[in-house]
C-alpha cells in the first residue's frame, strides 16, 4: 500500500504573461513531513514562484498541488488562497502592527478565548526564538532583522503543519542568523513541523536543510541530501551554487597538468594541499584573504587562478612561490 504524499506538486507550471522564460516549467515536487527542504538556484531561477505555487498564492497554469492528498486551491478558485495548515513568511513584514508591542503582535495570532493558554503559548514561542527581551518593544522601533523574527514567531505560534520561508533571514545579522536557524531546527525536531525554505546562502541551506531542491531556469535540475549534493553534485551549476569553487576549462586544466577529456574541472578550496617544501614551486600567492577561522589564498600559475582554503595562519604571504597538490576534483 502506498501512503499519500505529505505535500506534492504534480506537473505544475506557471509562466508569467508576456514573459516566456519566466516562472516554473512543468515540475513534480514531493515534500516530506517533518523535514526542512531548501529550494536553491540562481537569481530568477523560479524559487519564489515555486514556493508561491506550493502555498497556493499563485494558481498554476498546469498541474496541481496536493496537501495530504487534498487539492490546494489558488487565488483563482478561493478568496483566501492556500491551506489553513500552512504559513508563509517572506522578506516583507508588512502585516506587523508597527504601533503595537512585539508581544501583542505575536499574541494576537491566538484566539482570545483562553487567556491563560494565550499567555503561556506566547511566552513559550518568544522563549524558543530567544525574543523575550524584545517583548515590550514597539515594532516601529525594531530593525529589519528583528521584524523578520517577529514575523517568524507569528507564523509558528499558530502551529502550522508547514512553514514556508522566502529568504526569511536576509536582514538578520550573522550572529543572530545562526541562532535563529538552530532554533527553527529545534522546533522542527520537537514538533514535527515541515519547513520549506528559499535561500541564497549556501552555508544556510547546507547546515539547515535535510533535503535540497536545485532549480535552474524554472526546472528542477537535481535534488537530494545536502552532503551528497555538496560532495557529488551531478551538475556544474549545483557545485557553483554550493561553494565558491574554482572552475577550469579543459584547456586550463590541461595547462596545469590535469589529464581530462571533460569540458570543465571543478576544484573545491578544501581539496588542495599547499606546501613550500616540494621542489617545483609553480604557484605564486597573489592574495591572502583573512576569513576569520581560515584564510583564502588566491594562487596563480600560467595565467590560471585557484582558490585554496588555508588554516595555517601566516604560513604564506603575497609573492611567495609555493606548490600545490590536488586531492580531488570533479569533471563535467
Ligand X SMILES: Nc1ncnc2c1ncn2[C@@H]1O[C@H](COP(=O)(O)OP(=O)(O)OP(=O)(O)O)[C@@H](O)[C@H]1O
- Residue 31 C-beta: closest distance to ligand X, Å: 17
String of contacts with ligand X for each residue 30-69, x by CB under 6 A: -----------x-xxxxxxx--------------------
Segment contacting ligand X by CB under 6 A, of 15-23, 25-33, 103-111, 246-254: 15-23
Cell numbers linked to 282: 609553480
- Total residues contacting ligand X by CB under 6 A comes to 12
- Cβ closer to ligand X: 23 or 233? 23
- Residue 117 C-beta: closest distance to ligand X, Å: 38
Q: Is 91 in the site for ligand X (CB under 6 A)?
A: no
- Residue 149 C-beta: closest distance to ligand X, Å: 21
- Cβ closer to ligand X: 54 or 330? 54
d(CA 159, CA 181): 18
- Residue 321 C-beta: closest distance to ligand X, Å: 41
- Cβ closer to ligand X: 184 or 241? 241
Segment contacting ligand X by CB under 6 A, of 19-27, 235-243, 263-271, 324-332: 19-27
Q: Is 128 in the site for ligand X (CB under 6 A)?
A: no
- Residue 13 C-beta: closest distance to ligand X, Å: 12
d(CA 248, CA 81): 47
d(CA 273, CA 327): 7
Q: Kindly report the length of the chain.
A: 332
Do 289 and 271 meet the contact criterion of CB atoms below 8 Å apart?
Answer: no
- Cβ closer to ligand X: 45 or 105? 45
Q: Is 22 in the site for ligand X (CB under 6 A)?
A: yes
- Cβ closer to ligand X: 23 or 168? 23
String of contacts with ligand X for each residue 230-269, x by CB under 6 A: ----------------------------------------
- Cβ closer to ligand X: 125 or 241? 241
Q: How many other C-beta atoms can be found within 10 angstroms of the C-beta atom of residue 316?
A: 19
- Cβ closer to ligand X: 220 or 324? 220
Residues that bind ligand X (CB under 6 A): 16, 19, 22-23, 41, 43-49
Amino acid at each position: 500500500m502506498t501512503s499519500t504524499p505529505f505535500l506534492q506538486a504534480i506537473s505544475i507550471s506557471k509562466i508569467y504573461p508576456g514573459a516566456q522564460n519566466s516562472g516554473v516549467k512543468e515540475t513534480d515536487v514531493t515534500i516530506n513531513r517533518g523535514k526542512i527542504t531548501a529550494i536553491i538556484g540562481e537569481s530568477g531561477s523560479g524559487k519564489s514562484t515555486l514556493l508561491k505555487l506550493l502555498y497556493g498564492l499563485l494558481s498554476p497554469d498546469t498541474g496541481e498541488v496536493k496537501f495530504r492528498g487534498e487539492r490546494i486551491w489558488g487565488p483563482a478558485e478561493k478568496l483566501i488562497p492556500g491551506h489553513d495548515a500552512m504559513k508563509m513568511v517572506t522578506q516583507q513584514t508588512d502585516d506587523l502592527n508597527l504601533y503595537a508591542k512585539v508581544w501583542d503582535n505575536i499574541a494576537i495570532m491566538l484566539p482570545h478565548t483562553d487567556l491563560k493558554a494565550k499567555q503561556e503559548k506566547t511566552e513559550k514561542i518568544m522563549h524558543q526564538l530567544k525574543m523575550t527581551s524584545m517583548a515590550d518593544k514597539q515594532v516601529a522601533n525594531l530593525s529589519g532583522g528583528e521584524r523578520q523574527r517577529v514575523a517568524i514567531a507569528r507564523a509558528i505560534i499558530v502551529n502550522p503543519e508547514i512553514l514556508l520561508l522566502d529568504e526569511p533571514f536576509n536582514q538578520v545579522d550573522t550572529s543572530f542568523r545562526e541562532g535563529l536557524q538552530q532554533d527553527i531546527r529545534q522546533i522542527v525536531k520537537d514538533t514535527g513541523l515541515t519547513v520549506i525554505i528559499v535561500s541564497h546562502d549556501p552555508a544556510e541551506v547546507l547546515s539547515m536543510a535535510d533535503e535540497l531542491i536545485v532549480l535552474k531556469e524554472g526546472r528542477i535540475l537535481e535534488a537530494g541530501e545536502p552532503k551528497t549534493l555538496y560532495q557529488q553534485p551531478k551538475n556544474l551549476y549545483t557545485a557553483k551554487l554550493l561553494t565558491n569553487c574554482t572552475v577550469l576549462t579543459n584547456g586550463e586544466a590541461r595547462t596545469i597538468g590535469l589529464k581530462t577529456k571533460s569540458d570543465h574541472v571543478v576544484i573545491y578550496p578544501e581539496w588542495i594541499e599547499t606546501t613550500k617544501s616540494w621542489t617545483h614551486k609553480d604557484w605564486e600567492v597573489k592574495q591572502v584573504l583573512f576569513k576569520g577561522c581560515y584564510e583564502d589564498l588566491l594562487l596563480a600559475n600560467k595565467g590560471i587562478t585557484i582558490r585554496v582554503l588555508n588554516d595555517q595562519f601566516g604560513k604564506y604571504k603575497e609573492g611567495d612561490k609555493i606548490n600545490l597538490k590536488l586531492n580531488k576534483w570533479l569533471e563535467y
